[in-house]
A and B are shown apart, each in its own frame.
Chain A
Amino acid sequence: MSKLISYEHKNTPIHKLSGFTKLVFFLIWCTASALTFDTRILLCMLVIGFVIYKVSDTKWKQVSAVFTAVMIFMTINLLAIFFFAPYQGCKIYGSRTEIAHLFGNVYLTQEQLFYEFNVFIKYFTVIPAVFIFLVTTDPSELAASLNGVGVPYSIAYSLEIALRYIPDVQDEFRKIKNAQEARGIEMSSKGRLMERMKNTVSIIFPLLFSSMERIDVVSNAMELRGFGKKKKRSWYSRRPLKAADFAVLAFIVVFFIGSMIITYHDGNRFFNPFV
């Protein structure tokens, strides 16, 4: 579980980009995907996303667990759209082309299918982007980048601290759980649900107390080393922007403006093949 989606050091062109570039690209990319319903743009983004995924050398096993979870959620979402608003597509595209009668007064329409197809590929433009961003960006560089786009450094750094201590806390949790289980506090699926919930408390408290001790030490250590002394702070891991970064930044800005023009030139953010 500890290695769900985490940074892995590699030497691909994507890894070499500055965290700042990737963060900006990621934010604009998601905004574009959220705004547009233009199928041509979404398909184009899908292809670009897939290419980046390949280039970044992201391994399927790094992301498969989360991907499966997202797929399940997406299926539920698409079914829910269909059952709660079976004619949403017709409303949007202003026509109704029935394919089959399902039940009651619910018909399967081409418009609805096309609309849901759009929702589906929208997901697929964003999900790989999230994965690629997380597995190719060094967390400390991410903190540096966040600070670079205007997030206060205390907040940016707390993200880094969290990542630093997650493995330690997981380790501590495992140790405490084992010791408490040996004392007879049942944690496995053998115990009854209520019993297990009550027993969880016997792990949470010791974990809380030992974490508090740690927080005390860490905050003293940070203060002793001058954290918070100045209004600004520099970052060892920040990467200066290189030519490739500027190229990527220029591309994403142009891409965004272009896609917005194509999307909105007819006053509607949906691409309508039914006209």
Chain B
Amino acid sequence: MDGRIDPIIDFENVSFKYRAQQEPTLKDINLKIYPGEKILIAGQSGSGKSTLAHCLNALIPCSFTGDMSGTLRVDGQEPSKLGVFGMSKIVGTVLQDTDGQFIALTVAEDIAFALENENTPQKDMYEKVDSVASKLELTDLLGNAPGELSGGQKQRVSLGGVLACNVKVLLFDEPLANLDPATGKRTIVLIDELLKKEDLTVIIIEHRLEDVLHKDVDRVVLMDGGRIIADKTPDELLCSNLLIENGIREPLYIAALKAAGAKITPDTKPQHIETMNVEPYKETVQKWYHHMPVHRGVNTGETLLSVEGLNFSYDGKKQILSDVSFNIKRGEMVALVGKNGAGKSTLASLICGFNKPDKGVIRLEGNDISSLSIKERGERIGYVMQSPNQMISKPMIMEEVGLGLAVRGVPHSEVEYRAKEILKICGLYPFRNWPVSALSFGQKKRVSIASILIMNPDILILDEPTAGQDYMHYTEIMEFLVNIRKTLPVTIVMITHDMHLMLEYTDRTLVLTDGKLLMDAAPSEVLTDQEVCDRAYLKRTSLYDLALKCGIDDPSEFAARFIDHDRKNRVAKIDE
């Protein structure tokens, strides 16, 4: 960096302790960010990365109080003195929850929201909104309500809302968390284009490293335990083992290269697989591939659930599902994927009986279940919502877990016995007498799953089980499910956006696009098929690119072998 340029953001020995906590959350932070840079701040939950972001927009110390020491300057000003309002003119924050950030009733009004609060004359607002909208390709959507927009469009509106204020710094708080992979990729491209055209500095907080690195990043700041433990270029960082040691998932092609025993060096430009020089590693990877055991598909049992020719529409006009057919075998773990609005949730709601299909049959163990009520189906097909807070209705864990049996008139003593059994399986037994409110998010999630499992369902349908979770919590939830499957004879169907989840944990993937079943195959086949990925808004796995670049003729088999290897390693690590 040119020494004459002053940093736009300058942390000097900044520490911060929340009022309610014993330990400081940020410890002695020193960080300089220069105008025009694009910085990725990575770290697992609790690493202090969100706290760092809140210092920038002055939510700390203005909304979340605590003790702050050291000095922080943003554009020469101290955020704590300017306050949240003052900082909102310098730092524009795009929140993770784009639904929550969409405040007004239409796109145009939402972009204008901050301007309205500035009491800007109407004429100026019209001009500004028009110019921002054309930059973000929102011009045709200006009159639309939030309900009529896709996740990616909502995010562009959020971005428009902060761009309208002529901010100097754009701060993205986990921008990819709620988006399907292809839309996430487009967001990263959009951020990159904005940075090139406008006079901006961009800070992205995200743990989905591989997705952010789709476009060049100047530096990655890695945080753990409230400290900055690395501040390197992506090329340097990817060559070290710092990421994996600190609970951040490495890009898959990097993990595969490392697994093959390659020593990656920064001069091969490992930031993007497309432009990386893999020549030095080619031989090692090929050798490893031929050395690895051939991938074997899982042995599947008899058909448990069969869906035949399902058609559904809410209003009789727009067809949500058309002619969807598939089978699910007993004991399988299946992923249901597709872009937002492809009909995944609708399909689940038809299986659970929340809605009735217009045409088609759903069979469980060969019997048509159309005559069963929601309650009756609930005993065989368990449905777990995305957030445990949407399900938990009792204050105590035992009561919550036993609820499904209690309302079915099972005697109290048996409810208690079975609740204890299921709590043991779910690793929640030590907490059985705790109030639900004392649990962490991951534990609550387990409670919500336990309270379904107690009914002994044949199938468990999970809606986005890992959305918004970092690598560590993701692994916690997924390993929990793997363990459940070992102990209980339950078949698991997961609705998900997470390509890693489907690749690493599921046996089969059902791909839905515009209400039709596009593909029904092993995840490694789906994620190496460019055409299917494009149509279903999935993202082709970087393992595919790596395999091709290394001259391996069957990329899908390469992906499968690596995942087998990785899974085995992970299980070994957990057993330790």
A contact residues vs B (CB 8 Å cutoff): 9, 138-140, 160-161, 163-164, 167-168, 172, 175-176, 178-186, 199, 201-203, 205-206, 209-210, 213-214, 217-218, 220-230, 232-238, 240
Contacts and interface: CB of A to CB of B under 8 A. Distances in A.
A201 B104 contact: no
B552 to A, nearest CB: 44
B100 A236 contact: no
B404 A183 contact: yes
Contact of B118 (A164, A176, A202, A226): A226
B392 A234 contact: no
B105 to A, nearest CB: 5
Given A181-B375, A184-B408, A221 B95 contact: yes
Contact of A179 (B59, B103, B391): B391
B374 A226 contact: no
Contact of A234 (B100, B121, B377, B404): B121
Contacts of A163: 105
A212 to B, nearest CB: 9
A184 B455 CA distance: 10
Contacts of A230: 117-119
B568 to A, nearest CB: 36
23 contacts: A9-B143, A163-B105, A172-B390, A178-B352, A182-B354, A183-B451, A183-B455, A201-B393, A206-B389, A206-B392, A209-B392, A210-B390, A217-B95, A217-B100, A225-B114, A225-B117, A226-B88, A226-B114, A226-B118, A234-B119, A234-B120, A236-B112, A236-B116
A218 B353 CA distance: 33
Given A164-B146, A217-B100, A225 B113 contact: yes
B407 A184 contact: yes
Contact of A224 (B59, B353, B407): B59
Interface in B147-189: 147, 161-162, 165
Interface in B94-112: 95, 97, 99-106, 108-109, 112
A22 B411 CA distance: 62
The secondary-structure label for the interface of chain A is helix
Contacts of A214: 100
A229 B119 CA distance: 10
Contact of B379 (A139, A167, A176, A184): A184
B403 interface: yes
Interface in B377-420: 377-379, 381-383, 385, 387, 389-394, 403-404, 407-408
A187 to B, nearest CB: 9
Given A182-B375, A185-B407, A221-B100, A234 B63 contact: no
A182 B59 contact: no
A206 B375 contact: no
Contact of A160 (B105, B349, B354, B391): B105
Contacts of B122: 234-236, 238, 240
A224 B118 contact: no
B346 interface: no
Contacts of B391: 176, 179-180, 206
Contacts of A172: 390
B125 interface: yes
Given A164-B146, A182-B383, A184-B379, 10 more contacts: A168-B147, A183-B403, A205-B392, A205-B393, A206-B391, A224-B59, A225-B114, A232-B119, A234-B118, A236-B115
Interface string B335-368: 0000000000000010011100000000000000
A182 B59 CA distance: 41
B556 interface: no
Contact of A210 (B63, B129, B389): B389
A217 B353 CA distance: 32
B180 to A, nearest CB: 19
A183 B378 contact: yes
Given A181-B375, A226-B88, A221 B116 contact: no
Contacts of B559: none
Nearest to A167: B147
Nearest to B161: A225
A11 to B, nearest CB: 13
A223 B84 contact: yes
B57 interface: yes
A221 B88 contact: no
A169 to B, nearest CB: 12
B63 A223 contact: yes
Contacts of A217: 95, 97, 100-101
Nearest to A178: B354
Nearest to B87: A224
Given A160-B105, A205-B393, A233-B116, A218 B378 contact: no
B104 A164 contact: yes
B93 interface: yes
A208 to B, nearest CB: 10
Contact of B352 (A139, A182, A184, A233): A182
A224 B57 contact: yes
Contacts of A202: 393-394, 403
B85 interface: yes
Contacts of B378: 181-184
Given A178-B374, A236-B125, A206 B393 contact: yes
B333 interface: no
A205 B385 CA distance: 15
